[in-house]
A and B are shown apart, each in its own frame.
Chain A
Amino acid sequence: MHLDAGAGAPLHPAAREVMTAAQERGFADPRALHGAGRDARLLLDNAREVVAECLGLRREEVFFTSPVDAVQRGMLGLAAARVRVGGHVVHSAVEHAHVRHAALWWAGSHGGETREVPVDLRGAVAEADVISHCAGAGVAVAAVQLANHEVGTVQPVGAFPLPDGVPMFVDASPALGHLDLPAEHWSAAAGHATAWGGPPGVGVMIVRRGARWTNPFPGDPAPTDAGGGLPDVPGALAAAAALRATLAEHDEVAARQRRLVDRIREAAAAVPDTDVVGDPRDRLPHLVTFSCLYVPGEALVRALDRHGFGVASGSACTASTLEPSHVLAAMGALTHGNVRVSLGRQVTEAQVERFCAVLPGVVQDLRAEIGL
């Protein structure tokens, strides 16, 4: 059973047919003046229209690009429009590595520094801390995610304006399709189609009308699809179809996921010496993280895999860097013995019950191996 939907999920059935059809009709360069180009352009415009409507945006605010580019270009475009103001970048301590790396790169090459806004034990920033980090001279951009990709905690994005005209970038990559974008107090955002059952290679960069934004990379200064390259038209159309289908079933799926995650939280909390992390209520509906004392995360992931459950982990021994998750570290959560479960739209109650039944024994066996 795949319980790692956050890292990748099967294409939503609604997107599969669209993808195949669009590959036959939308293969050409949508900027070309011939018939095949016009076909591709029509499909791309249609995808943009659907995504904009689903997210409550204008179509001229939506751009299709790669998921990483959506984050880097979306965020740094706000900073590039403020090079005269300064080069500091403010971000929460629990941003995705794409945001953190982009912030370091920008600040380092523009005479600035990165300023991390701390989080509490739930993983949330406080409004007052974000504001105080943005106050003063030289802040180019602030980045706060809509919800955390590892622990699910929702951030207070869109609840307040930033001082001194600092623009807010919202990394909504793991959240779109699960949560709505806030109505105001942000200038640009990024989404990743895989979060709503779309193709993994499709990202959405959102630049709000009226936002000051300049392309931070070589090329046209205005925002464009795929950074001015050839957009993935079939991918965009499939992403749009998946988003529409996901939102249509959202109430039912999210309610079920919320209930199942509550069940996993309860079962994990009942395992002795286990730290269930993230906000228990104000969170992504489909994601839960917990850490079991004295157990190596890698052994836990392998043991659960042997029982047929594919889960992720933020423990150091499971990471290519051998560093523990910076999200768990920033929260002060236990970093070893970590398991992250994210539910796809089709995970059932029976499957979750089986996971909850297996978990205590798996942890107990691993602890017994070391004599605890």
Chain B
Amino acid sequence: MSNPDGRGSGPDLELDCRGRPCPLPIIELGRRHTDVDVGGTVAVVADDVAARVDVPAWCRMRGQVFLGEDAAPDGVPRYWVRRT
């Protein structure tokens, strides 16, 4: 099964934001997404419901590419972003 980035492997960077309320997952994404190279992928694992809206909105505002959503092995939503 392919991931939201179209490949089978994991993201280049995964941010564990389980249990952290909004806007902490987005703050983490804002801080850490430059840790990957341009073209690389960052995934935010977050159970906060606002992340489902705010990760794509962050991508739109910051000119990054939202790739989609899948789930971590424990079922927590995982949101994928490609750095531009």
Contact = CB atoms under 8 A, between A and B. Distances in A.
Contact of B22 (A273, A336, A372): A336
A324 B57 contact: no
B53 A329 contact: yes
Main secondary structure of the interface of A (DSSP, over half): loop
A354 B19 CA distance: 38
A275 B61 contact: yes
B26 interface: yes
A97 interface: no
Contact of A293 (B48, B56, B58): B58
A323 B22 CA distance: 10
Interface of A: 273, 275, 291, 293-296, 315-317, 323-324, 328-329, 332-337, 370, 372
Contact of A324 (B27, B49, B62): B49
Given A273-B61, A334-B61, A372-B31, A293 B53 contact: no
A293 B31 CA distance: 12
Given A316-B50, A329-B53, A336-B54, A293 B61 contact: yes
Contacts of B62: 273, 293
A270 to B, nearest CB: 15
A334 B54 contact: yes
A351 B25 CA distance: 35
Contacts of A295: 23
B61 A317 contact: no
B53 A294 contact: no
Contacts of A275: 57, 61
Given A323-B49, A324-B50, A316 B22 contact: yes
